[in-house]
């Protein structure tokens, strides 16, 4: 399961962050998931919860922020969110655009609590 390895990678990042804060614990981690990343947020959440349960990181909350697909217009250089697969630039109407984001998965932030 693809999402389980992603959940594992998130937990690795959390452990690395926790090492930088002795005496504190990470209580929440947020990730941004592009809508074209091929990641099922529900499956990711499920895998994450299963991995955290019973581990040294429990309790740890996961927040998944969806990241819309964005294109950059080749004509005017503007960027815009693509909805309903409408790829034309809303500024100048050009259909010449390239995808600039929407297929990534990145860490957004972590909440660290002093104990």
Per CB under 5 A, residues contacting Zn ion are 73, 75-76, 89, 91-92, 94
Q: How far is the CB of 25 from Zn ion (least distance, A)?
A: 47
Choice between 27 and 94, CB closer to Zn ion: 94
DSSP string, 21-39: STTEEEEEEEEEEETTS--
Radius of gyration for the chain, computed over Cα atoms and rounded to the nearest angstrom? 18
Q: How far is the CB of 87 from Zn ion (least distance, A)?
A: 11
Choice between 12 and 91, CB closer to Zn ion: 91
- Give 22's contacts (C-beta < 8 A, 6+ positions apart): none
Q: How far is the CB of 36 from Zn ion (least distance, A)?
A: 21
């Amino acid at each position: 399961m693809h999402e389980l390895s992603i959940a594992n990678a998130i937990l690795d990042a959390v452990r690395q962050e926790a090492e930088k804060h002795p005496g504190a614990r990470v209580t929440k981690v947020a990730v941004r998931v592009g809508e074209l990343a091929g990641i099922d947020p529900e499956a990711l959440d499920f895998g994450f919860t299963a991995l955290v349960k019973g581990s040294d990181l429990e309790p740890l909350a996961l927040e998944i922020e969806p990241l819309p697909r964005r294109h950059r217009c080749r004509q005017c250089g503007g960027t815009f969110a693509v909805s309903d697969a409408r790829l034309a630039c809303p500024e100048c109407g050009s259909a010449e655009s390239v995808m600039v984001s929407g297929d990534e998965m990145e860490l957004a932030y972590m909440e660290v609590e002093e104990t």
